[in-house]
Amino acid sequence: MHDIAIPQEMKPGDGRFGAGPSKVRPEALRALADPARGAKLLGTSHRQAPVRELVGRVRSGVAALFGLPEGYEVVLGNGGTSAFWDMAVFCLVEERSAHASFGEFSSRFAERAAAAPFLAEPVVASSELGTHPELLADDRVDAYALTHNETSTGVQMAVERPRTPSGEPAPGLVLVDATSAAGGLGVEAAEFDAYYFAPQKCFGSDGGLWCACLSPAAIERVERLAGGGARFVPAFLDLRAALQSSRADYTVNTPAIATLFLFAEQLEWFNSNGGLGFSAARCDASAAAVYSWAERSDVAEPFVKRPEDRSHTVATIDFRDSLDAGRLAAVLRQNGIVDTDPYRKLGRNQLRIALFPSIDPADVEALTACIDYVVERL
Ligand SMILES: Cc1ncc(COP(=O)(O)O)c(C=O)c1O
């Protein structure tokens, strides 16, 4: 492959477009390294007041960002979203769950529920990749699993409680995997019972932590399933223990303090600038830039056909067969523009571009110009 050098002045200010781990803002990193701010917390006990205050900042920042009503609680612990799926299987699904399955991540939770010997076979509604299914009210089901944004395909769906034929919200908990949506897409707390995520995406932090906003109904379910002794719950997956620790601004075991600090900084950046309206508007601007470019392009098009399903946090762009998107991503990487490769198991001739709030919409605009530059020279 001959080298293609993108002119420096065309390049985005920051070349990180990965869907997670994703761009961490330099301002947050500077605050982390500041001896008077983050640096003095690193290497100190998570059981003492300074780190507990940090956990408190995260919990109150999340509650403020999502406008959580009275009675909702913010819980967090170690293990990332993958750990939370197992916690949900043990502590939030009573007998049977229903799942909207439309990509790698949404299908994983369904598989875990199916594998649990103490649960009934889950109801799984699937749809073609690049679309999402609707979940219908089902009286055999006590928990509905939605994915606000399917990171593997770049499809977003509205968070809404499934409705009965008469239009009433279905009884049962609504559990929403918001890993690549939370902080970038609008949401109403009344529509969910658990809105869970990890902070390595919109929250511009590192992986390894999970965070969940739980409604009073979800908390009641956790107390009953994990507290009654009727069901064996592995200690590490005990959401009731995590809830109790979180109430005291702890985590059950040792957390990554730098991750908590970067998460808190991002929350304060959002909340001091107008909250979810501010952060989602940045994603909307980036989405407008990338999708309008793809629609105008002769070589590219949005993978997701319905504009309302196109993710405003993770864009997937198909390229015509004569152009090798893998090579394009490799040339971008040589030029310092990284992680635009498609989701590894999707197997499409595609680029995947994160549009998280940390990413400057002007950088997304610059990226599209860089892609055009490379395409002309490939
Ligand atoms: C939608 C979604 N759910 C779950 C996960 C898994 O998260 P974690 O790596 O924190 O376990 C990811 C990771 O990319 C994701 O995008």
Distance between CA atoms of residues 244 and 256, nearest Å: 19
CATH for the 16-25+274-377 domain, from 3.40.50.1860, 3.90.1150.10, 3.10.20.30, 3.30.70.260? 3.90.1150.10
Q: Boundaries of CATH 3.90.1150.10 in the chain?
A: 16-25+274-377
DSSP state at residue 9: G
DSSP 40-96: TTTTS-TTSHHHHHHHHHHHHHHHHHTTPPTT-EEEEEESHHHHHHHHHHHHT-SS-
At 360, phi and psi to the nearest 5?
-70, 125
Residues in the ligand 1 pocket, defined by CB under 6 Å = 20, 80-82, 105, 147, 151, 177, 179-180, 198, 207
Separation of 40 CA from ligand 1 center, angstroms? Answer: 30
Please tell me whether residue 220 adopts helix, strand or coil conformation: helix
Look at ligand 1, atom 7, and give the residue with the nearest C-alpha. 81
Separation of 299 CA from ligand 1 center, angstroms? Answer: 30
Question: Over its length of 378 residues, how does the chain's per-residue pLDDT go in tens digits?
Answer: 569 999 999 999 999 999 999 999 999 999 999 999 999 999 999 999 999 999 999 999 999 999 999 999 999 999 999 999 999 999 999 999 999 999 999 999 999 999 999 999 999 999 999 999 999 999 999 999 999 999 999 999 999 999 999 999 999 999 999 999 999 999 999 999 999 999 999 999 999 999 999 999 999 999 999 998 889 999 999 999 999 999 999 999 999 999 999 999 999 999 999 999 999 999 999 999 999 999 999 999 999 999 999 999 999 999 999 999 999 999 999 999 999 998 888 889 999 999 999 999 999 999 999 999 999 999
Taking the CA of residue 147 as reference, the ligand 1 atom at the shortest distance is 1
Separation of 377 CA from ligand 1 center, angstroms? Answer: 35
Look at ligand 1, atom 16, and give the residue with the nearest C-alpha. 151
Is residue 99 within 8 Å of 177, Cβ to Cβ? Answer: no
Separation of 155 CA from ligand 1 center, angstroms? Answer: 14
Distance between CA atoms of residues 169 and 162, nearest Å: 6
Q: What pLDDT is attached to residue 344?
A: 85
Residue in the block written with tokens 């103490």: 118
Q: Boundaries of CATH 3.40.640.10 in the chain?
A: 27-272
Separation of 3 CA from ligand 1 center, angstroms? Answer: 34
This prediction has a pTM of: 0.98
Q: What pLDDT is attached to residue 2?
A: 62
CATH for the 27-272 domain, from 3.40.190.10, 3.40.50.1970, 3.40.640.10, 3.40.50.300? 3.40.640.10
**Nearest C-alpha neighbor of 162 from the set 139, 181, 179:** 139
Taking the CA of residue 19 as reference, the ligand 1 atom at the shortest distance is 14
